[in-house]
Amino acid sequence: MQRINISVAKGDGIGPEIMDAVLRIFDAAKVPLSYDFIDMGKSVYDRGFTTGMTDAAKVSVESTGILFKGPMETPKGGGVKSINVTARKTWNTHSNIRKFQTIKGVDTVFSKAGIPINLTIVRENIEDTYGGIEHYMTKDVAVSRRIISRPGSEQVIRSAFETALKEGYKKVTCGHKANIMKLTDGMFLNTFYEIAKEYPQLEAEDVIVDALCMKLVYAPQQFECVVLTNLQGDIVSDLCAGLVGGLGFAPSANLGDHIKIFEAVHGTAPDIAGQNMANPTSLLLSGTLMLNQMGLEHYGLAIREALLSAIDKGVHTGDFGADKSNAVGTQEFADAIIAELDLSKITDSDPEKYHKPTMLAENRMMVSSNEVVETVGIDLFIESEQQPDKIAEIVQAHLDADMEVTTITNRGTQVWPEGSVFTDLVDTYIVRIEKNTTAEIKKKKFMEQAIHMYDFLTISSVEMLLTIDGERKYSLAQGQKVNALS
């Protein structure tokens, strides 16, 4: 069988030694892969590449379509972005798949209770607060933008249903916080149920994410495949890793339409780097996910069975196992796995599943709807230490006749026209201006009104208020009374 070339980044800290161990196991299993070793991670930052990857690394990944990477460190401070997040976002690996299964020989509360765990977390990988769009608005107020899109939601939710089918699951659960974030998580939840209609053979349910965490801790066996937005999915997937023994036993795949990334999601552990102590299990399991995705399932299955057999016989590194005195080193652990390989189980695979990416002519624009969008107002973010009544007085004195101030809020709570003197204030208000007539007001006029207000107030930012097919698409304030439009 012709060898398939993939891009390999060994990573930082313990990354090189666990990657060497995994590739040695691959070679022993005669996996038909060749490797293009590339530079990514802290050493690349230190050489002045602020993206954490060299230009040659980018070319390599976009040529092979597969990146297999060890753990990588992002330098603290300095405004540099995480190389792990940058890689996922740059190549639009929109769905993070993390599978959590009980491993015999890895003791946990649930394994001791005889409760097997077999669940998969599918996490949106591109959007949410991981956009890293943050600003200081004043000296006391910082703002982070949370971006949720319908096309992005569709991608990851469809991945979740397809994953459930492949794993033989019967149910897909949507974790969300739509009771609070009614527009962003609300869009994600609505999209979930729309796509669920395409998969009538699977049960679809939803649960608020805090309740989900509670239920995962006391009854994880009731879940099979759970799909979440990015930040919530990040937290929940690490929680699930704890259920099966820790991040050292949690494989991770990042799937895109053109490029796929497989990685260890634990830290770089620089304190034990180079000491032959690191556990390569997470990276090896991620490698088996990679082989499955590439049509090399028989190799992946044989390697996974060899790993489980070695652990079942009591072979383990120092970070797990009941008898720490019998712990072996990284390379000895790899030797034990190789000794358990049964090459007779490796039969014909389906390499047709693997396709090198075709270079695109331009970026794809994802648009999923054609509703009527109308601008009906504007939110002005005001920097001020004045009382709400004074701000309202200034705005009303300089407002066009076809507009009105409907509410003033502070940290999301209404403080004008009604509020409480017991609401503590910070130096950023949101002044909401909406049209007060049935006549159409163009977006440009709202912007002109905002510019006019600059002469009288310190405006930090502006946000347009939209309706879509006549439905309000902006949040009400805490304590705001619902008006006719709402």
How does pLDDT run along the chain (486 residues), one tens digit per residue?
A: 689 999 999 999 999 999 999 999 999 999 999 999 999 998 888 888 888 999 999 999 999 999 999 999 877 766 667 888 889 999 999 999 999 999 988 889 999 999 999 999 999 999 999 888 899 999 999 999 999 999 999 999 999 999 999 999 999 999 999 999 999 999 999 999 999 999 999 999 999 999 999 999 999 999 999 999 999 999 999 999 999 999 999 999 999 999 999 999 899 999 999 999 999 999 999 999 999 999 999 999 999 999 999 999 999 998 887 677 789 999 999 999 999 999 887 876 555 677 788 888 899 898 877 788 999 999 999 999 999 999 999 999 999 999 999 999 999 999 999 999 999 999 999 999 999 877 778 899 999 999 999 999 999 999 999 999 989 999 998 888 765 444
Phi, psi of 68 (to 5 degrees): -110, 115
Check whether domain 1-93+257-369 has CATH 3.90.870.10, yes or no: no
CA-based nearest residue to 11, from 234, 289, 211, 282: 282
Specify the pTM.
Answer: 0.91
Q: What is 95-255's CATH number?
A: 3.40.718.10
Please tell me if the domain spanning 1-93+257-369 has the same topology as the one spanning 95-255.
Answer: yes
Q: pLDDT above 70 covers what percent of the chain?
A: 96
Whether 123 contacts 225, CB under 8 Å? no
Q: How many helices (H) and strands (E) does the chain have?
A: 14, 18
Long-range contacts of range 313-321, CB-CB < 8 Å, 24 or more positions apart?
313/340, 314/105, 316/105, 317/277, 317/278, 317/279, 318/277, 319/246, 319/248, 319/279, 320/106, 320/107, 320/245, 320/246, 320/248, 320/249, 320/279, 321/105, 321/106
Instruction: Could you please state the CATH topology (level 3) that the domain comprising 373-472 is classified under.
Output: Alpha-Beta Plaits (3.30.70)
Distance CA 173, CA 170 (A): 10
Whether 374 contacts 466, CB under 8 Å? yes
Task: Indicate the DSSP class of residue 248.
Answer: G
What sign does the dihedral 467-472-474-479 (CA atoms) show?
positive
Distance CA 343, CA 30 (A): 9
Domain-wise residue ranges, the chain: 1-93+257-369, 95-255, 373-472
